[in-house]
């Protein structure tokens, strides 16, 4: 899809949106309501903002109450089995809505919908689901709703086009100060445990001018905290004619006028460079937070995971980041109990955690995903035993976080006043990482940056605004 054809595609969808509005005007005496229920990662949250934008364009009012909605859309996640089970449970509950209003529309999209086995299961066992569509055809939502509302067959669409990204999809953002800005979609890394490359297709980067334009719009609309999204932001722009890499993109965004902070996720250690760390150090608007998932501390397991870096390279990057950015906040993802992992391998994960001292960790017990290479590997360790290891990791991390939190005391951070705190007269914001801090302040400061000094760390960070 080149830019002209992208514009033509979006015009076509606008025509469908207008047709949907005309149909629902006949069906309902007041504007119909739509509810989008989102599972999974920030990428899905961002996609849902675009789905909501299209629904608003079709004349739907958005609601959080699915029981009173005329259209319910599940934006799903397939990354672990638990995530999938929750979705099936929720879909089942919409049967009652359809019984009350046969014109109601129920849709399932997102990463689960991209899987053939899921689409088949819904086709057979959930006859009241009207639409199942994959991640790369979401921009065609108006067409799908129109087809179904006008009496067409149930919609099953899950082509992976892997082509250019349709721009100009309308967006209805959830927040007013903090917003998501996708810079790329898909993943080429095929870590052996992971479903994402199958669910999202090949890596595709947005053109810099579209990203810059969206950032400018967000800043003009009052957004002060912008998180750039991608499965592996460090490979932004690879192979593109414009030649801009992620560090270059960060520098361009940093140069935009306005008072705002830029965050990003996720960085893959294999593509994380010292240049990127230097860029974070040098760009005053880029948050001193690096989310760098290591997954395992054992080289043997990292090889079997196809992560394409080793423990030494990971630790070298971390050492460089700490040296260049002394107040850097480090966070990471870890998998416990990958097939074939022994307690000795797990101890290497523990020792890495102790060495790095992350501010926080996202920890997962390995979950086999059908169709991935790891799902075929021997996995002799029981779930119970993995649970014991997992608890051990949590205890170690909790102790590290508690010890390190004390070191926040006395430090000063530039904090965005994000909203009211948990106590009257207090505001809430975040330090450079993900730690929440509360401090006395007027509600009129919400949306402004303030210099906040940490005074106490007992029961959460408390501070005071320095004048």
Sign of CA dihedral 366, 359, 178, 245: negative
197 is in the binding site of which of ligand F3S, ligand SAH, ligand SF4, none (Cβ under 5 to 8 A by kind)? ligand SF4
Residues 36-55 binding ligand F3S (CB under 6 A) are 40-41, 43-44
Asked if 149 interacts with ligand F3S (CB under 6 A), we say: no
454 strand-pairing partners: 463
Smallest distance, Å, CB 24 to ligand F3S? 29
Give residues in contact with ligand SAH (CB under 6 A). 79-80, 193-194, 196, 231-232, 266, 268, 293, 295, 333, 335, 364, 366-367, 369
Helical H runs in 205-262? 208-220, 246-254
Whole-number Å distance between alpha carbons of 62 and 36: 8
CB 318 within 8 A of CB 352: no
Per CB under 6 A, the list member of 17, 23, 55, 78 interacting with ligand F3S is 78
Cβ neighbour number for residue 430 with a 10 Å cutoff: 21
Residues 252-271 binding ligand SF4 (CB under 6 A) are 268
Smallest distance, Å, CB 267 to ligand SAH? 7
Asked if 191 interacts with ligand SF4 (CB under 6 A), we say: yes
Using the minimum distance from each CB to ligand SAH, give the nearer residue, 70 or 232. 232
Asked if 231 interacts with ligand SF4 (CB under 6 A), we say: yes
Using the minimum distance from each CB to ligand F3S, give the nearer residue, 40 or 463. 40
CB 122 within 8 A of CB 94: no
Using the minimum distance from each CB to ligand F3S, give the nearer residue, 41 or 122. 41
Using the minimum distance from each CB to ligand SAH, give the nearer residue, 265 or 450. 265
CA 149 to each of CA 4, 127, 375, 419: distance values in angstroms, whole numbers, following the listed order = 29, 16, 40, 41
Asked if 200 interacts with ligand F3S (CB under 6 A), we say: yes
Q: Which residue is nearest to ligand SAH (CB)?
A: 333
Q: Classify 193 as helix, strand or coil.
A: coil
Q: Are strands 105-110 and 61-62 parallel, antiparallel or unpaired?
A: unpaired
Using the minimum distance from each CB to ligand SAH, give the nearer residue, 80 or 411. 80
Helix (H) or strand (E) holding 120: helix 116-125
80 is in the binding site of which of ligand SF4, ligand SAH, ligand F3S, none (Cβ under 5 to 8 A by kind)? ligand SAH
The CA-based angle 109-73-193, given to 5 degrees, is 35
Whole-number Å distance between alpha carbons of 410 and 405: 11
Q: Classify 362 as helix, strand or coil.
A: strand
50 is in the binding site of which of ligand F3S, ligand SF4, ligand SAH, none (Cβ under 5 to 8 A by kind)? none
CB 180 within 8 A of CB 45: yes
Residues binding ligand SF4 (CB under 6 A):
187, 189-191, 194, 196-197, 231-232, 268
Residues binding ligand F3S (CB under 6 A):
40-41, 43-44, 77-79, 111, 195-196, 199-200
């Amino acid at each position: 899809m080149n830019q002209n054809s992208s514009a033509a595609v979006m015009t076509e969808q606008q025509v469908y949106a207008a047709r949907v509005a005309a149909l629902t005007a006949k069906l309902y005496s007041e504007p119909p309501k739509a509810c989008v229920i989102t599972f999974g990662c920030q990428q899905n949250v961002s996609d849902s903002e675009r789905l909501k934008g299209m629904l608003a364009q079709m004349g739907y009012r958005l609601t959080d109450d699915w029981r009173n909605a005329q259209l319910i859309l599940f934006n799903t996640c397939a990354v672990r089995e638990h995530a999938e089970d929750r979705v099936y449970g929720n879909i089942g509950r919409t049967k009652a809505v359809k019984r009350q209003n046969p014109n109601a529309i129920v849709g399932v999209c997102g990463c689960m919908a991209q899987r053939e086995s899921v689409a088949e299961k819904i086709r057979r066992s959930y006859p009241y689901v009207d639409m199942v569509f994959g991640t790369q055809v979401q921009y065609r939502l108006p067409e799908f709703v129109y087809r179904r509302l006008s009496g067409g067959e149930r919609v099953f669409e899950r082509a992976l086009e892997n082509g250019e990204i349709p721009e100009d999809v309308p967006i209805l953002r959830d927040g007013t100060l903090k917003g998501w800005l996708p810079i790329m979609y898909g993943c080429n890394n095929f870590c052996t445990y992971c479903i994402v490359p199958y669910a999202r297709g090949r890596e595709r980067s947005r053109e810099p001018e579209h990203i810059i334009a969206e950032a400018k719009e967000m800043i003009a609309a009052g957004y002060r905290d912008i998180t750039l999204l991608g499965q592996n932001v460090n490979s932004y722009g690879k192979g593109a004619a414009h030649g801009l890499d992620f560090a270059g993109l960060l520098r361009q965004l940093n140069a935009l006028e306005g008072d705002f902070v830029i965050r990003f996720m996720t960085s893959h250690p294999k593509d994380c460079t010292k240049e990127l760390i230097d860029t974070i150090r040098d760009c005053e608007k880029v948050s001193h937070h690096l989310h760098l998932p290591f997954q395992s501390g054992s080289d043997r397991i990292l090889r079997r995971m196809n992560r394409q870096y080793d423990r030494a390279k990971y630790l070298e990057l971390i050492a460089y980041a700490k040296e260049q950015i002394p107040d850097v906040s480090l966070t990471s993802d870890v998998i416990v109990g990958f097939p074939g992992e022994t307690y000795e391998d797990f101890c290497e994960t523990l020792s890495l955690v102790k060495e790095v001292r992350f501010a926080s960790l996202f920890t997962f017990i390995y979950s086999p995903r059908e169709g991935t290479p790891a799902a075929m590997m021997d996995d002799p360790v029981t779930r119970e035993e993995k649970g014991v290891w997992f608890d051990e990791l949590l205890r170690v991390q909790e102790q590290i976080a508690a010890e390190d939190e004390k070191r926040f005391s006395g430090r000063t951070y530039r904090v965005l006043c994000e909203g009211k705190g948990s106590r009257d007269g207090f505001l809430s914001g975040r330090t450079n990482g993900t730690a929440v801090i509360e401090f006395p302040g007027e509600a009129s400061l919400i949306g402004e940056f303030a210099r906040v000094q940490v005074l106490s760390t007992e029961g959460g960070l408390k501070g005071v605004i320095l004048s």
